[in-house]
Copies of this chain bind each other. A is one copy, B any other.
Amino acid sequence: MAPKLGILAGAGELPLRIIEACRAAERPYFVLAFQGSADPAVVAGEPHAWVRLGAAGEGLRLLRENGVEELVMAGGVRRPSLLQLRPDWRTAKFFARVSYRALGDDGLLRSVIRELEEAEGFRVVGADSLLGPALAPEGPLGRHAPDEAAQHDIALGFRIVHALGALDIGQAVVVQGGLVLGVEAIEGTDALIERCRGLRRDGPGGVLVKGTKPGQERRADLPTIGPRTVTAAEAAGLRGIAVEAGATLILDRDAAIAAADRAGLFILGVPRS
C-alpha cells in the first residue's frame, strides 16, 4: 500500500479532491490545514490539524506524529508579510538561509520543497500525480473552439502571462479584442474574472488565459481551473478559457466541460511555445 500521505492544505477545492482520491484508492492520509487559507468545511471530519504558516516546527512534529511519509501541497496559501508570519525557531532557521523578501511565490515554494525533502526526509509529490488524468490535454475540451479573433487574444494573453511569470507574479490575464482588461497579482483568478466583468467592452467577449511561470515548481502550485472558473467566466461575459496543455489541473473535468458546453464557452489546451 502507498505510504500515508500528508496533505498540506491551502485554499480552494484541491485539498478535497485529493482527499477523495485517497479514499477511492483506500490510501491513508492526514491533512495539515493552514490557518487563514484552508477551508474548514473541507477538513472537518477528516484526520487533520490546523497550523500557522510560520509554525514549521509544530507542523513537522504533527506530520511525524501522524506517520506521514509523503507530502502533497494542495491549494494556494495566503502569503503573509514577514511580520505577520511570526516564525517559530524552525521557520526562522529556514529563513536564516532563504531570503523571504527576495523570493517571489514560486521561488519560495521551491525552497520549501527542497527543505522538506533534503532536510526533513519527506518525499513531495505533485497533486496531478494523485488525481489521474487531471491535466489539460492539447486542443479544445468540449464542443466549442476559439474563432480567429479569440485566437489573437489567446496569443496575446500567453505573451503577457509568460512575461509576468518571469517576474514571478500572477499567472492569469483577461484579454478582449486585443485589449488587456486585467492582470492577476495576488487577488487570485476568481477575483480577476469578477473585476473584468465590470471592465468589459461591447463586442465579442474576452478570453481568460492562464499559464505557468518559467521553470515553475509543479509540485507547489499548478495553475488550476474547474467548474467554478467556467461559471465565473460565463457570468463575466468571457468567450472561453485557454490554459497550458500538460501543465494545468482541471478539477471535476466532466462537470467543467459540461458547464462550458452549456454556456457556449471554449476550454482550450495550448502547448507551451
Which among B83, B170, B199 is the interface contact of A203 at CB below 8 angstroms? B83
Q: How many residues of A contact B (CB 8 A)?
A: 38
- Chain B residue with the shortest CB-CB distance to A160: B167
- Chain B residue with the shortest CB-CB distance to A79: B179
- Chain B residue with the shortest CB-CB distance to A188: B199
Mask, A100-120, CB within 8 Å of B = 1, is 111100000000000000000
A97 CA to B176 CA, complexed, in Å: 22
Instruction: List the B side residues contacting A100 at CB < 8 Å.
Output: 178
Q: Answer yes or no: A152 CB below 8 A from chain B CBs.
A: yes
Q: Answer yes or no: A225 CB below 8 A from chain B CBs.
A: no
The majority secondary structure among interface residues of chain A is loop
- Chain B residue with the shortest CB-CB distance to A159: B167
Q: Answer yes or no: A163 CB below 8 A from chain B CBs.
A: yes
Smallest CB–CB gap between A182 and chain B, Å?
A: 5
Q: Answer yes or no: A201 CB below 8 A from chain B CBs.
A: yes
Instruction: List the B side residues contacting A83 at CB < 8 Å.
Output: 177, 202-204
Beta-carbon contact of B178 and A185 below 8 Å? no
Instruction: List the B side residues contacting A185 at CB < 8 Å.
Output: 173, 180-183, 199
Q: Answer yes or no: A258 CB below 8 A from chain B CBs.
A: no
A81 CA to B175 CA, complexed, in Å: 11
Q: Which 10 A-B pairs have the closest CB atoms?
A: A83-B203, A81-B203, A101-B178, A84-B202, A81-B201, A81-B177, A183-B183, A169-B180, A180-B185, A183-B185
